[in-house]
Amino acid sequence: MSRRGRVMPPSDLLASVSRREEDGVSIVAVQGEIDASNATEIGRELTDISNLALGSVIDLGQVSHIDSTGIALLYELHVRLERRGQGLAVVAPEGGAARRVLELTAFDTRAAVTADVDGAVSAVRSIAGADPPPQPDPR
């Protein structure tokens, strides 16, 4: 039985975050696993969005585990962006780890959840009023 403080890989080994911008939309891609051990750091990355951006796309396509701590981050982010008039869309392909949890927590009924980044970018642009609403996803 351990009584030591730090007992696991540092969070940076658990997940990595990369960001870029496309058509005025900030795209934050997370790779790896999101849980209570790295939620604070991930949350900081997710909320780091320019005021000038139309909104944010959170790409969870490469996430192999996300639990309620991660979903709570998304809910917070959603509320925050809504208040700032910015859009939010989450990329979570069918069959992926993230899609299942987003559906179980009904996040997909609250915010746009798309299968790919392009769809998410147009969703954010239309939420922010930059584009007309996109055609319904045939999938």
Partner 1 sequence: MAAFGPEDALLSAEADLVEQRAGILLVDDAPENLTALEAVLEPLGERLVSAQSGEQALRALLHEEVAVILLDVRMAEMDGLETARIIRSRPRTRHIPIIFLTAQASDVEEIARAYASGAVDYVVKPLEPDVLRAKVAVFVELSRERAERVRQSQARAHAEAIAATVRKLQIVSDAALAHLELDELLAEILERARTLFDADAAGVFLRDDDDRGLTLRASLGERFPLADREHVSFGEGALGRLADERRPALLAAVELPPQPGAASSRIDSFLVVPLLGSESLIGLLYLGARAGRRFAAADLELLALAGERVAIAIEHAKRYAEGLELVEILQRSLLPERLPSHPRLELAARYRPSGFAAQVGGDWYDALVLDDRRIGVMIGDIVGHGIRAATTMGELRSALRAFAIEGHPPGEALHRLDRVVQATLGRGMVATAMFLILDAEAGTVTVASAGHPPPAVVGADRRVRFLETTPCLPLGIDDHAAASERVHPLAAGDTLLLYTDGLVERRDESIDAGFERLRDALREAPDDVEALCDHVLDRTLGDHPGQDDVAVLTVRLLAGPSGPLALTLPATVDSVTVGRHQLRAWLRVTAPELEIALARDLELAFSEACTNAVRHAYGPRDATFSMRAELVGNEIVLEVRDHGSWREPLGERGGWGLRLIRAVCEAVEVERGPIGTRVRMRQSLPLEPAASSARPAAGAGSQS
Which chain residues interact with partner 1 by CB under 8 A?
1-10, 13-14, 33, 35-39, 65, 67-69, 71-72, 75-76, 95, 97, 100-101, 103-106, 109
* Residue 95 CB, nearest approach to partner 1 (Å): 8
Rank residues 17 and 71 by Cβ distance to partner 1 and give the closer one.
Answer: 71
Name which of 57 and 71 has its Cβ closer to partner 1.
Answer: 71
CA–CA distance, 33 with 69 (Å, rounded to integer): 11
CB of 130 to partner 1, least distance (A): 29
Cα dihedral 7, 8, 11, 13 sign: positive
**Cβ closer to partner 1: 51 or 109?**
109
CB of 40 to partner 1, least distance (A): 9
